[in-house]
Amino acid sequence: MNSLARRCVALCGLGFALALGAFAAGPETRFAPKVVVVTTYEIGADTGDKPGEFQLWHERENLTNRVEVPGVDHPLTHDGKALWGMVSGTTVRAALQVQALGLDPRFDLSRTYWLVNGIAGVDPADASVASAAWAKWVVDGDIAYEVDSREADPSWPYAIIPVGSKKPNEKPKVTEWEPAPMAWELNGELVDWAFALTRDTVIPENEAMKPLRAAYKRFPNAQRPPFVLIGDTFGSCRYWHGPAMTRWANDWARLQTGGRANYVMTNMEDQGIAHALSRLAAQKRVDWRRVLFLRTASIYCTPPDATGVAESMLAEYEGLIPSLESAHRVGSKVVHALLKDWETFSAQTPKP
């Protein structure tokens, strides 16, 4: 081989090595989000049409940069700096997509704050439509024994029984197959800080909400204009509704937490997302002390009385748009505060 040929081979080899190096470097791009906002669904496009949970965050926070994550259906988006948005998908299956993000080697989530943010049904005993509740507990309402209520003991208030128990609202004895955990406690100091920061947020409403609230004559909190509160989140894949089920959710939340949780918001995802994040925390991929759950009410979880339960469950969400507005107005205050003082909050979580 003459010198010219050897030089060509060397140059080709160098070019191939550089190309291979560039190819290898691509997947090694690292991301270290400061805040990830997790919403569960979007309707149609991310902008310009009827909004779902993600759209206001996308539009108002300029989350226009997209990153595909294997196992996550909707691309993650970010503002080019530190704020990221995720659409996790609905029901408990959202856990799979959150887990996929947490296991993606490109992401360093060890100091990331998580804001799980979406609409919910609200217990009228606690709050009104479009109200926003910061949770201190996430309760799993999925795992249970159940029989048809028409075939249950007539003395039971409902036909749902904790696994390992003999009747409703009975704490099960510990067995080798009893599901655990059934509830997750969040960082109370972080929640108190978020609540103090947002408690005076003005939440807009529409005219349709006023007669809706007025119908709940036995529930003073349901008649109030929307407000911010501390109230726990109850996740169940079954879309339940009505006074008997509301009683069950309240009893279940107290039972699974030793009386410490107060059910306020019902949804279909939080139990799965909490389970995924807690498992990622056990692997040191996520800091559980940096996780927040904020739910805003688009509907009441029961009609004003015991009549018309099915019709109430299937009715349009009169509070949908106000609840989406509430979610961003309240949640963004916390997001912006975390980003503004990142030098402090990257090292230690906020306290009230």
Query: What would the DSSP string read from start to end of 100-131?
Result: HHHH-TTB--TT-EEEEEEEEEE-TTT--TT-
Give tens-digit pLDDT for 155-168.
Answer: 999 999 999 899 99
Predicted confidence at residue 318, as pLDDT, reads 85
Distance (Å, whole) CA 83 – CA 35: 5
Predicted confidence at residue 307, as pLDDT, reads 85
| Average pLDDT of every residue of the chain | 91
Predicted confidence at residue 28, as pLDDT, reads 65
| Pairwise pLDDT comparison (292 vs 7), residue with the higher score | 292
The dihedral of CA 154, 155, 158, 162: what is its sign? negative
290 with 112: CB under 8 angstroms? yes
Distance (Å, whole) CA 43 – CA 124: 27
DSSP letter assigned to residue 244 = H
CA distances from 47 to 57, 90, 117, 132, 333 (A): 10, 19, 18, 23, 21
| Length reported for the chain | 352
CA distances from 183 to 132, 135, 284, 313, 335 (A): 21, 12, 20, 26, 25
Give tens-digit pLDDT for 252-275.
Answer: 999 999 999 999 999 999 999 999
Predicted confidence at residue 324, as pLDDT, reads 97
Least confident of 67-71, 272-276, 315-319: 315-319
Predicted confidence at residue 297, as pLDDT, reads 98
Give tens-digit pLDDT for 201-248.
Answer: 999 988 889 999 999 999 999 999 999 999 999 999 999 999 999 999
All structural domains of the chain with their residue ranges? 29-143+179-345
**N-term to C-term CA, the chain:** 76
Distance (Å, whole) CA 267 – CA 238: 9
Give tens-digit pLDDT for 5-64.
Answer: 444 434 344 343 333 333 333 456 899 999 999 999 999 999 999 999 999 999 999 999
Give tens-digit pLDDT for 179-194.
Answer: 889 999 999 999 999 9
> What is the domain class of 29-143+179-345 according to CATH?
alpha beta
Give tens-digit pLDDT for 127-182.
Answer: 999 999 999 999 999 999 999 999 999 999 999 999 989 999 998 877 667 788 99
Helices 320-340 and 188-198 cross at an angle (nearest 10°) of 110
270 with 236: CB under 8 angstroms? no
- Give the 3-state secondary structure of residue 326: helix
Q: Is the pLDDT of residue 88 over 60?
A: yes
Q: Is the pLDDT of residue 2 over 90?
A: no
Mean pLDDT on 326-342:
98
Mean pLDDT on 324-336:
98
State the pLDDT confidence band at 306, using cuts at 50, 70 and 90. Answer: confident
DSSP E strand stretches across 236-290: 263-267
86 with 74: CB under 8 angstroms? yes
